[in-house]
Chain A
Amino acid sequence: METLTFRFEHGQRRLKAAPELVGVVSSGNLEVLIENAALDGACAIEVKTAARGFGAIWEAVMRDFQQRWQLADARISINDMGATPAVVSLRLDQAVEAMVEEGQ
């Protein structure tokens, strides 16, 4: 397993209070837990992945994600079992959509 962390400052979009979980830790898939956290407006992401050595790809996926959403005070935790970048992006978007459903 490999652990990767990312942090993006100065987010804009706030999330609802209750955490959400999307996805399943099955082969080629991942779960994304997304929660509010007091981070001075930052978005912090921690990835635990079974596929080692893909740091650069994760970085690219996270940068794209940040550009799309620019979340503030958000903590995202991922357990990954070899999902492709496309599936990772999909789950991340699903997670955010679950969090901005109400009152946004």
Chain B
Amino acid sequence: MSASYLEATARERILAVLDAGSFKELLPPAQRVVSPHLGQLDAPVSFDDGVIIGEGLLDGQAVMAAAQEGGFMGGAVGEVHGAKLVGLLRRAVVKQAAGVILLLETGGVRLHEANAGLIAVSEVMRAVLETRAAGIPVIVLVGGANGCFGGMGIVARCANTVIMSEEGRLAMSGPEVIETANGVEEFDSRDRALVWRTTGGKHRYLIGDCQQLVSDDTAAFRAAAIAALAQVSAPQLTLAALEAEQEMLRRRIATFGLADDPMDIWAELGVPRPDSVPMLEADAFTAMAQAHRITSPA
């Protein structure tokens, strides 16, 4: 059954990705665990504080799963939202889940909760690594309209696997913030093609920051998550893996550090007709990319 992942709500996504009928929500909206800070800015709250968490099955395997609702405060992380994610990651260890699936769509720290939001994102980051250390894979899906930015863009790269659609974006600072700080010549935030070349799924897949590139389809994301879960054999951090990653990152600067535009990087990678990359469908793009992309096990 085909449905746009981008257009779906967080609730719809998590139900579509997990096995049908298997999802049991934790701290459901009826418990009304809302933000304690939004009221002082006269901002509306949401009964689930913008993140749905729970247990379910993924191809029969017991997993924990979370989905951020990009529509609420841009999916940004506040005290309660972050604590739900931390609790879920810790619960995965307690229950010895087969994995944690995080459907991320977020601007990062919820500025309305400032200091509390920053500490919350930091706690999520440590919790992801803690869960990995306990032998449980963490898989991240990025495909919503708001992308995955800020401190959560860092959290995504702390996971074992990142799955993206072309529509998804993964970065740290948003183009508007960069443009405001350093001018439109530095980064024209209204140049959508540039934004997606710079932070979109295809670019991340080519440079090694994303392990699977799928079409904008909840079924495709589900299949990719199932495959990812089956593929991760040793979720823990190791010195060897980090040394390999450090070498990749060092080489990335050495090889592409002078590139002006992401398309220069694709050309450098040997991608045939780099200007055609945005036009390729996910499967065709993935097939083409195999011979050229940088691979990294994350």
Contact = CB atoms under 8 A, between A and B. Distances in A.
Nearest to A23: B9
Interface in B204-237: none
Contacts of A19: 28-30
A33 B30 contact: yes
Contacts, number: 49
Contacts of B47: 21, 31, 33, 77, 79
A1 to B, nearest CB: 6
Interface stretch (B36-44, B125-133, B168-176, B286-294): B36-44
A50 B71 contact: no
B30 A50 contact: no
B69 interface: yes
B22 interface: no
A5 interface: no
B240 to A, nearest CB: 44
B45 interface: yes
B45 A79 contact: yes
Nearest to B39: A1
Contact of A35 (B11, B30, B48, B72): B30
A77 B28 CA distance: 14
Given A19-B29, A31-B47, A35-B30, A1 B72 contact: no
Interface string B68-80: 0101100000000
Interface in B168-192: none
A49 B44 CA distance: 7
Contacts of A73: none
Interface string B145-165: 000000000000000000000
A48 to B, nearest CB: 7
Contacts of B42: 1, 50
Interface in B1-45: 9-11, 28-30, 32, 39, 42-45
Interface in A48-94: 48-50, 77, 79-81
A96 B48 CA distance: 19
Interface residues of A, number: 17
Interface string A8-45: 00000000000101001110010101010000000000
B46 interface: yes
Contact of A50 (B9, B32, B44): B44
A59 B177 CA distance: 42
A3 to B, nearest CB: 11
A79 B42 CA distance: 13
Contacts of B44: 1, 25, 48-50, 79-81
Which of B11, B29, B42 counts the most A-chain CB atoms under 10 A from its CB?
B29
Contact of B29 (A1, A21, A48, A50): A21
A26 B72 contact: yes
B30 A79 contact: no
Nearest to A82: B44
Closest 10 CB pairs of A and B: A26-B71, A24-B71, A19-B30, A25-B46, A21-B29, A25-B72, A50-B44, A79-B44, A81-B44, A33-B29
Given A49-B44, A50-B43, 19 more contacts: A1-B39, A1-B43, A1-B44, A21-B11, A21-B47, A21-B48, A24-B46, A24-B71, A24-B72, A25-B45, A26-B72, A29-B71, A35-B30, A48-B44, A77-B32, A79-B44, A79-B45, A79-B46, A79-B47
